[in-house]
């Protein structure tokens, strides 16, 4: 047996060293000239290193994770007779995929000089977009084309989500067997596209901080609710001019500072009154998706903004409590939420939720339903607005209401009637006593 010939890394341009991210051959493989042997990746480009001649691979002298430079031996090959001299050199195929297309492999022949073989030079690298898709080497792309696989539907398991040949093989096997496969356009348990993995440090200094404990727990809950519930939001405005005057008079007569009545206390009473007349808003969809579970009690969650994130304590038995009692309980629950002193029972048994951003600002918003509830009422900041009374425009204090509801349980007309009732209860505080 003749001594094997070395295949070394050609000129890779201005790079001192480049990472080996994929080995495309194994000892014993029969290769032809220009067949890719390994895949390299710099911070700007991905490239396949082709064989300069054909033969049988005896040894691959690098492994994934190695850093290689020009002239490094990457494989030993038992060359075919005369193949080394007869085959023209080919440049390395550089892959810089654009976001809006799948780039194809390109190789352009270079004429070998007689009696002298110099390693080919790498073309100038083109900077790759941070959100380029799909993320695969030229060899993997070629392999996918041979199998008829769409790389946009393949989930990569390599570094930074790179699609490897094994990923393509598994994808094709799953497709042939009818087994659902995780894809690049799906989260592990749904058909939702996975978030792009972007290295933000390429553009400047960054600071990575962990999510708070509350955010880690509430984030998946909100995500699950948004994915599984068909949200619709109905908007309306309530004229609370008289309510606000009445509230201020009550506070002026109340000497106990802990009992200061807020507009939210009136909103809770109005919401409880509306739920009593529209019991479907106090229900939850059963697990079978074919029944509704109606509650005979009415507990209302109030979204509280804390330094660690949003948390929703629950006020129980709202219909039987007065404004002062509701105001007192809300203040205490908010204090406990911000100090981390809430007990588990303070967060349970909610029927419907209120998210109040009035103290911060905003015109309207779309609150996410607090599953398994079927609705949530958003309250924005009240604003003085000129309102036509039939004869003239008069300044009125208008409170924006945003009702998000589960369209599987509640239709648009019912949501509109529910919101109108809340508006009417707020506009005429005497009705809250009924």
Question: Do 427 and 317 fall within a single domain?
Answer: yes
The pLDDT of residue 257 is 59
| Strand ordering across the sheet containing 55-60 | 5-8, 73-79, 55-60, 30-31
In a domain, 206, yes or no: no
Q: Catalytic residue numbers?
A: 407
Pairing of strands 93-95, 46-50: antiparallel
Distances (CA, A) of 373 to 64, 223, 240, 280, 292: 50, 15, 27, 10, 11
Distance between CA atoms of residues 290 and 208, nearest Å: 45
Coarse DSSP helix, strand, coil percentages of the chain, rounded to the nearest 5 percent: 30, 25, 45
Of 132, 141, 137, 173, nearest in space to 158 by CA: 137
User: Which of 97-106, 132-141, 186-195, 285-294 is least confident?
Assistant: 97-106
Helix (H) or strand (E) holding 412: helix 412-427
Distance of CA 65 to the CA centre of its chain: 30
Domain extent, residue 69, equals 5-133
Task: Examine the fold and report which residue of 66, 100, 133 is the final residue of a domain before the chain moves on.
Answer: 133
The pLDDT of residue 127 is 36
The answer to whether the CB of 351 falls within 8 A of the CB of 297 is yes
Averaged pLDDT of the chain: 80
Pairing of strands 36-41, 283-285: unpaired
Question: Do 277 and 424 fall within a single domain?
Answer: yes
**Global confidence as pTM:** 0.57
Question: Do 251 and 111 fall within a single domain?
Answer: no
Question: Do 229 and 128 fall within a single domain?
Answer: no
In a domain, 255, yes or no: yes
Q: DSSP labels for 352-392?
A: EEEEE-TTT--S---PPP-TTSSEEEEE---EEEEEE-SSS
224-247 pLDDT, tens digit each: 898 889 999 999 999 999 999 999
202-223 pLDDT, tens digit each: 899 989 988 887 888 888 888 8
Distance between CA atoms of residues 358 and 378, nearest Å: 9
The pLDDT of residue 160 is 62
Pairing of strands 283-285, 67-68: unpaired
| Number of independent structural domains in the chain | 2
Q: DSSP labels for 31-84?
A: E-TT-EEEEEE-SS-EEEEE-SS-EEEEEE---TT-EE-TT-EEEEEEEPTTHH
Q: Average pLDDT of 364-368?
A: 94
User: Which burial class, exposed, middle or buried, applies to 153 when counting CB atoms under 10 A from its CB (0-12, 13-18, 19+)?
Assistant: middle
Find the CATH number of the domain harbouring 242.
Answer: 3.30.559.10
Question: Do 231 and 120 fall within a single domain?
Answer: no
Buried b (16+ CB within 10 A) or exposed e, 298-329: bbbbbbbbeebbebbbbbbebeebebbebbbb
Task: Examine the fold and report which residue of 98, 133, 168 is the final residue of a domain before the chain moves on.
Answer: 133
User: Which burial class, exposed, middle or buried, applies to 426 when counting CB atoms under 10 A from its CB (0-12, 13-18, 19+)?
Assistant: buried
> Is residue 88 pLDDT above 60, yes or no?
no
User: Which of 21-30, 109-118, 184-193, 400-409 is least confident?
Assistant: 109-118
Task: Examine the fold and report which residue of 96, 116, 133 is the final residue of a domain before the chain moves on.
Answer: 133
Block residue for tokens 């042997």: 37
The pLDDT of residue 61 is 93
């Amino acid at each position: 047996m003749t001594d094997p010939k070395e295949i070394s890394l050609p000129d890779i341009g201005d790079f001192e060293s480049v990472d080996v991210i994929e080995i495309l051959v194994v000892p014993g493989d029969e290769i032809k000239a220009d067949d890719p042997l390994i895949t390299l990746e710099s911070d700007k480009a991905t490239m396949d290193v082709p064989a300069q001649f054909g033969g049988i691979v005896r040894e691959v002298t690098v492994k994934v994770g190695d850093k290689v430079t020009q002239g490094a031996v990457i494989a030993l090959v038992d060359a075919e007779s005369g193949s080394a001299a007869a085959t023209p050199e080919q440049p390395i195929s550089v892959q810089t995929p654009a976001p809006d297309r799948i780039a194809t492999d390109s190789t352009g022949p270079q004429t070998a000089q007689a009696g002298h073989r110099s390693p080919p030079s790498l073309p100038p690298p083109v900077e790759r977009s941070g959100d380029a898709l799909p993320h695969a080497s030229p060899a993997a792309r070629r392999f996918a084309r041979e199998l008829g696989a769409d790389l946009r539907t393949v989930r990569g398991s390599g570094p930074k989500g790179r699609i490897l040949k094994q990923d393509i093989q598994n994808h094709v096997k799953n497709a042939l067997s009818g087994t659902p496969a995780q894809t690049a356009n799906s989260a592990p348990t749904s058909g939702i596209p996975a978030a792009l993995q972007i290295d933000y440090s390429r553009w400047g200094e960054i600071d990575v901080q962990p999510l708070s404990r509350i955010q880690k727990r509430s984030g998946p809950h909100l995500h699950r609710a948004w994915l599984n519930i068909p949200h619709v939001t109905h908007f309306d405005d309530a004229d609370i001019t008289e309510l606000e005057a009445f509230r201020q008079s009550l506070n002026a007569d109340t000497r106990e500072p802990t009992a200061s009545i807020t507009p939210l206390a009136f909103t809770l009473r109005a919401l409880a009154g509306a739920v009593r007349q529209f019991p479907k808003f106090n229900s939850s969809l059963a697990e079978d998706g074919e029944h509704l579970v109606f509650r005979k009690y009415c507990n209302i969650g109030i979204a509280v903004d804390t330094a660690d994130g949003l948390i929703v304590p629950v006020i129980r038995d709202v219909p039987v409590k007065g404004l002062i009692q509701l105001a007192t309980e809300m203040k205490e629950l908010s204090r406990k939420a911000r100090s981390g002193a809430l007990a588990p029972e303070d967060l349970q048994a909610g029927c419907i939720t209120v998210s109040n951003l009035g103290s911060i600002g905003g015109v309207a918003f779309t609150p996410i339903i607090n599953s398994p509830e079927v609705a949530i009422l958003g309250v924005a900041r009240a604003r003085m607005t000129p309102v036509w009374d039939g004869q003239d425009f008069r300044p009125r204090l208008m409170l924006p209401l945003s009702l998000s509801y589960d369209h599987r349980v509640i239709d648009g007309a019912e949501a509109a009637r529910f919101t109108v009732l809340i508006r009417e209860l707020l506009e005429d505080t005497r009705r809250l006593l009924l």
